[in-house]
Structure 1
Amino acid sequence: MPTSVLVAYGTTNGSTAEIAETIARVLRKEGLTAEALPAGALRSVTEYDAVVVGGGLYAGHWHKDARRFVRRHGKALAERPLWFFSSGPLDPSASEREIPPVPGVNRAMARLDVREHVTFGGCLREGARGWVARMIVRNGRGGDFRDFERIEAWAAKIGRELAPV
């Protein structure tokens, strides 16, 4: 029976959700059962064998839904293979070098024995929710900096780690 993987995410404008959906799609290609779901809507992780948690970065913090999910389900998450990702920089820096996790994510990683964390570029487009987001776009600093080849490669690596021998 294939390993069941949850890809939980916290997002405001949908960019992190698209990353999570890409990760789940690649995991399915690797022969696993995987679904991407909003972290704020999840009540349990007991039906999953492994978990990937991602959050958009806002002012140096993970999205509140991702933070709350990790706090609420910490005990169960610590009993499973666990990976974290962040989505945020609105420039190409995430594709050019490793960006360490923000302090709150780093503390959760140590507490839960997270296997790996990666930061992907973010995306902020016209019509974004939130005053700050709209100002960023209006000032010409928005755009799509997600590197889907890198995202897919990372997800495939997780799939290979979890795939049955």
Structure 2
Amino acid sequence: MTDTVLVTYGSTNGSTAQIAEAVAGVLRKEGLTVDALPAGAVPSVASYDAVVVGGGLYAGRWQKDARRFVRRHRRLLAERPVWFFSSGPLDASASERDIPPVRGVRRAMTRVSVREHVTFGGCLEEGAKGRVAGMILRSGKGGDFRNFDAIETWAAGVARELTRE
């Protein structure tokens, strides 16, 4: 059985961080010891039995801290169970169908033998940082498209796999 899990994330405006916290909450409820940390704040994954990595999607790429985290820790990640999630579509598409990982995430999945990837809807609301975010909001395409029931269901599946090992 897996004892300690790291849930880490790259998040620019906090939406992906909230998804990561929801995932961590489900894993804790299932009896696992979990740390939820920003990807840039993780010095090592050596003390963790499993890792969940999440990244917000920006212009078809994972948020830079998530990308850097996977690159920096790829050797140790390849030695333990790993799951990825992305957040980003600013519409209902993530709730309607499976959205495959973007190319860079797909490559990272192969390098570290990720067990599963899922894409959740994103959230972009007033006050978001960045020029592109501002343009999206001004065009009226922002909003909160996260489905926390789907997030918690996915996290429960991760927990089931981890508690069986």
In structure 1, what is the equivalent of residue 124 of structure 2? 124
Q: TM-score, normalised by structure 1?
A: 0.97
CA distance in 2: counterparts of 1:12 and 1:131, whole angstroms: 12
Secondary structure (helix, strand or coil) at the match of 1:37 reads strand
Q: Report the CA distance between 1:36 and its aligned residue.
A: 1.1
Secondary structure (helix, strand or coil) at the match of 2:146 reads coil
| Superposed structure 1 runs of 4+ greater than 3 Å apart | none
CA distance in 1: counterparts of 2:128 and 2:113, whole angstroms: 34
Paired residue total: 165
Secondary structure (helix, strand or coil) at the match of 2:111 reads helix
Secondary structure (helix, strand or coil) at the match of 1:163 reads helix
Q: Give structure 2 stretches of 5+ with no counterpart.
A: none
- 1:138-162 CA deviation, whole Å, 9 max, x = no partner? 2110000000000000000000111
C-alpha RMSD of the superposition: 1.2
Q: Report the CA distance between 1:2 and its aligned residue.
A: 6.1
- Asked whether the equivalents of residues 11 and 56 of structure 2 are also in contact (C-alpha less than 8 Å), the reply is yes
Residue type of the alignment partner of 2:79: E
1:30 equivalenced with 2:30 (yes/no) = yes
In structure 1, what is the equivalent of residue 157 of structure 2? 157
- Asked whether the equivalents of residues 21 and 35 of structure 1 are also in contact (C-alpha less than 8 Å), the reply is no
Q: TM-score, normalised by structure 2?
A: 0.97
CA distance in 1: counterparts of 2:30 and 2:93, whole angstroms: 28
- 1:112-139 CA deviation, whole Å, 9 max, x = no partner? 1100000000000000000110111121
1:73 equivalenced with 2:41 (yes/no) = no
- 1:90-128 CA deviation, whole Å, 9 max, x = no partner? 000000000000000001111111000000000000000
In structure 1, what is the equivalent of residue 108 of structure 2? 108
Q: Report the CA distance between 1:27 and its aligned residue.
A: 0.2
Q: Give structure 1 stretches of 5+ with no counterpart.
A: none
Give the percent of matched residue pairs that are identical in Structure 1 and Structure 2: 73
CA distance in 2: counterparts of 1:102 and 1:136, whole angstroms: 20
